[in-house]
């Protein structure tokens, strides 16, 4: 579980990120989960955008994806949300304690 200080740190890093994964009218499919899982392994922190033609909103989709890829939901803002998961291969982001 992330502390408040760690979440603030990750939110600050996330402001400069562009959304890597976009979820449209197809919703959360197996391909989306695989893509999010792979990108989290290489980057640790990613921004995901839920398009307006999606049937569900970001507040419903974000926790679902986070649970399926064992990631931490950092923030939901508008149609975007941030996910964080520590890489098993190499540490990219050094979280404050």
pLDDT in single tens digits along all 97 residues of the chain: 899 999 999 999 999 999 999 999 988 999 999 999 999 999 999 999 999 999 999 999 999 999 999 999 999 999 999 999 999 888 889 999 8
**Burial zone of 46 (CB within 10 Å; 0-12 exposed, 13-18 middle, 19+ buried):** buried
The Cα–Cα gap between 22 and 32 comes to 9
Q: Which domain, by its residues, includes 13?
A: 4-84
pLDDT for res 33: 96
pLDDT for res 16: 94
pLDDT for res 90: 84
Q: CATH code at 25?
A: 3.30.110.60
Q: pTM of the predicted model, to two decimals? A: 0.92
The domain total for the chain is 1
- Note whether residue 74 is domain-resident: yes
């Amino acid at each position: 579980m992330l502390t408040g200080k760690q979440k603030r740190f990750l939110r600050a890093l996330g402001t400069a990120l562009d959304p890597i994964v976009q979820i449209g009218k197809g919703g959360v499919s197996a391909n989306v989960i695989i893509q999010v899982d792979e990108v989290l392994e290489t980057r640790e922190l990613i921004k995901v955008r839920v398009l307006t033609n999606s049937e569900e909103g970001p507040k419903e989709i974000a926790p679902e994806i986070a649970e399926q890829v064992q990631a931490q939901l950092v923030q939901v803002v508008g149609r975007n949300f941030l996910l964080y998961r520590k890489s098993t291969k190499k540490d990219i982001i050094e979280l404050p304690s």
